[in-house]
Structure 1
Amino acid sequence: MIDPDAECRRLAGFARPAAASAAGFWWLDEAGRPDPGEPVHTWITARMTHVFALAHLRGDLPGTEAASLAAHGVRALSGALRDDEHGGWYASVTVDGEPVGTLKEAYAHAFVVLAASSGVAAGVPGAAALLDEALGVMQQHFLDDSGRVVDSLERNLRSGEAYRGANSSMHTVEAFLAAGDVTGDGAWHQRALAIAEHLIHGVARSHGYDLPEHFDLDWNPLLDYNADRPGDQFRPYGCTPGHLLEWARLLLHLDATLPEPPVWLVEDARALFARAVEIGWAADGEPGFVYTTSWDGTPVTRLRLHWVAAEALAASGALHTRTEEAVYDEWRQRFEAYIEDHLIDRDLGSWHHELDEHNHPSHQVWRGKPDVYHAYQALLLARMPLSPSLAVQLRDTHPVNP
């Protein structure tokens, strides 16, 4: 089975070259080289900053290297990727720091909050100011009056797409859990709970836990959204089993964090996991999770994406921790074996980000190996307590002194 400490060190080492641009962390190719065909994305820079903050707390790189890399990320998020004129963060910039496009995305802003939260826990200079600003932008601009997530806005932080999405909401829950732990302000946990209650205990439960991902401005599901683009990177058509797994884990973190958690958190986590396994795992006869399914539960996009296996590992570990039921540990071992057999790239490093339906490397949805966020933290989440967030746990328990 996988040695999580050794694998985390290997992943952190693979990710180091991403810091080649002062604007942030670069998208990496199959061999871990910066890909000049991609701009510098805020979501990648934030996720890598989060990983290197964790790596510093764990001592996964020699000396102060991980701390320096986390500081590089905080500087980029406080510099080239930040809009000094209107506030908030660009979706991406060129390597010279010029903005690419005009939309500002809740998805990327959620990861800025996560990165800053982990940076605060790791003692990264500038992280506290970054967190204060990011939380202010999120609360003022990316939450509506009912506390639900606004997916995108124009550069001036007004208007935006006529679209709401479950993906950005899910990562906002993750970010608010971390922010609440770092700041000690339980209001962020309550905001996370409200988002989860709407989308999971409300929408997903009413759809048999096949969570719709796409909505209009009034949160009416758009079940045919992107039917002509079923393999979209961020907005695929249909149900995404990997997100059912990710939501299941987040519900268990909420359950472990809240002083009086509602009973539906664990009930819905169980149901989401069961549905993801039912429709996603080996759904076409081959091992691994298919990327997407139709509303009758049949596979649509049969590619195997690495992040889905990572979230399966983390979710099964979380369910075993919460329930102590052997079946979840059996699933965890099954997923870990799959990752070891098919996803870990022993030749070029990191994990293959995409496999075809026969578990051979593929590049239809994802080119290269953009970042190590899902793989790195899943190895920790599958084995660590459910609360507090990873960075706070590592700060409080690990011998490395930030």
Structure 2
Amino acid sequence: MTAQVARVDAAAELLRLLDFARGAAATPAGFAWLDDRGVPDLAQHVHTWITTRMTHVFSLAHLQAVGDAAGLAAHGVRALAGPLRDAEHGGWYAAVSADGRVVDATKAAYAHAFVVLAGSSATVAGVRGGEALLDEALEVVDTHFLDGDGRVVDALAPDMGPGEAYRGANSSMHMVEALLAAGDVTGDRRRHDTALGIAEHLVHGVAREHDFLLPEHFTADWVALPDYNADDPADQFRPFGCTPGHLLEWSRLLLHLEATVAEPPAWLLEDAVSLFESATEVGWTVDLEPGFVYTVDWQRHPVVRSRMHWVHAEGLAAAAALHRRTGEASYADWQRVLEEYVATYLVDRDLGSWHHELDEHNRPAATTWQGKPDVYHAYQALLLASRPLAPVLSVQLAGR
């Protein structure tokens, strides 16, 4: 008898993820961090990066005609125009309390990239305040978070003055995602060109020079810091070593860029293929257990063996994008393998959403991630897996 292969019913799973995510709209300050059961964990504070990502998701859901999604997206836009916005200095706080008190006033490019993404999706979805949010976010990014070379400034002080002397590939990657969306929504193709420049520097330059093991951390002058956080290797946003999940995410973004920019260079496809190959070689089932490890060192050995849900979501989306672009059966095979992994290990059919972290034996864990903060990676990956590479999802769903 042939064993039944686990599969994800994408349409049903999207609705299930939204059911879980609704609970985050528990505070007027924004979308709360959710625990394993979908209950708001207010001890975690209200983070701008979560509120923006949830606003993006609910804007997409509204464009899919999900009944209450418009109100939930509007909830996020109101929070981003209110408690999370720094009316004095500009930009958005990193986090506030459930009652709107500022608890982290730093200004991070990572969070601001997601403000642009949320504003883009809310604008297309017709959410009140969405267009104003996008306009303001782009002005802040242009003025403060892109330097004269079009590269991303990672962090600023609360008053928007100089911040930490650090540059990061993660915030740059999400800025590429945000600028792709902003360019499609506003019609300003210069946004696409800026995104291409960021990718050319970090992927076609830095990653290629490092045999497609992309360093994540840099000085303010973009000198790689290979030992950064060696004493804290499982950090949520700045882990030590190379992160295979980001190689997968970059691979997909390069294909979106290729499908979007006016005259795409050949290296976009070539490097997308190389990044995917590198990620699967160093990250997949390297310790005799299925799944991608979180990080590897510069000798390609696993460091943090936890399996993060977002890595597998991005792997699924990247495999689907590569198959759509190349037609090669091997990528369809990877898409099936990753869909089976998601269905078997990550989908939490008892408590909802996806387990955010599994240990090296694919058992639920909470070493790096506590609870299930948001549904952005899972929701977006399920949509991307069956859709064209351009334009961005919000514009596609709007039927433009």
Q: TM-score range, shorter-chain basis? A: over 0.9
Q: How far apart are residue 237 of structure 1 and its match?
A: 0.1
Q: Are positions 1:29 and 2:32 aligned together?
A: no
Q: What is the TM-score normalised by the length of structure 1? A: 0.97
**Matching residue's letter, 1:279:** V
Q: For 2:319, which of 298, 316, 320 is the aligned residue?
A: 316
2:212–2:278 Cα contact (<8 Å) kept? yes
Q: Are positions 1:347 and 2:353 aligned together?
A: no
**Matching residue's letter, 1:194:** G
Q: For 2:114, which of 111, 117, 126 is the aligned residue?
A: 111
Q: How far apart are residue 101 of structure 1 and its match?
A: 2.4
In the alignment, what sits opposite 1:263?
Answer: 266
Q: How far apart are residue 58 of structure 1 and its match?
A: 1.0
In the alignment, what sits opposite 2:195?
Answer: 192
CA RMSD of aligned residues (A): 0.6
In the alignment, what sits opposite 1:88?
Answer: 91
**Equivalent runs, 1:54-73 vs 2, <5 Å:** 54-59=60-65, 61=66, 63=67, 65-73=68-76
Q: For 1:285, which of 276, 285, 288 is the aligned residue?
A: 288
Say which SS state the counterpart of residue 100 (structure 1) adopts: strand
In the alignment, what sits opposite 2:13?
Answer: 7
Q: How far apart are residue 3 of structure 1 and its match?
A: 1.2
Q: For 2:397, which of 373, 383, 394 is the aligned residue?
A: 394
Query: Quick one: percent identity of the two aligned structures?
Result: 66
Say which SS state the counterpart of residue 299 (structure 1) adopts: coil
CA distance in 2, matches of 1:312, 1:182: 26
Q: Are positions 1:326 and 2:299 aligned together?
A: no
In the alignment, what sits opposite 1:400?
Answer: none
Q: CA offsets, 1:144-193, max 9 Å, x none?
A: 11110000000111110010000000000000000000000000000000
Q: How far apart are residue 318 of structure 1 and its match?
A: 0.3
Moved over 2 A (4+): none
Q: CA offsets, 1:330-361, max 9 Å, x none?
A: 00000000000000000000000000000000
Q: How far apart are residue 97 of structure 1 and its match?
A: 1.0
CA distance in 2, matches of 1:271, 1:291: 19
CA distance in 1, matches of 2:116, 2:71: 19
In the alignment, what sits opposite 1:231?
Answer: 234
2:95–2:105 Cα contact (<8 Å) kept? no
Mark the runs of 5 or more structure 1 residues left unpaired by the alignment.
398-402
Say which SS state the counterpart of residue 43 (structure 2) adopts: coil
In the alignment, what sits opposite 1:253?
Answer: 256
In the alignment, what sits opposite 1:369?
Answer: 372
Q: CA offsets, 1:20-57, max 9 Å, x none?
A: 00000000000000002111000000000000001111
Q: For 1:38, which of 25, 41, 44 is the aligned residue?
A: 44
Q: Are positions 1:174 and 2:177 aligned together?
A: yes
CA distance in 2, matches of 1:307, 1:100: 26
Q: Are positions 1:17 and 2:23 aligned together?
A: yes
Q: Are positions 1:243 and 2:262 aligned together?
A: no
CA distance in 1, matches of 2:82, 2:254: 34
Q: CA offsets, 1:255-305, max 9 Å, x none?
A: 000121000000000000000000000011100000000001010000000
CA distance in 2, matches of 1:14, 1:54: 16
In the alignment, what sits opposite 2:4?
Answer: none
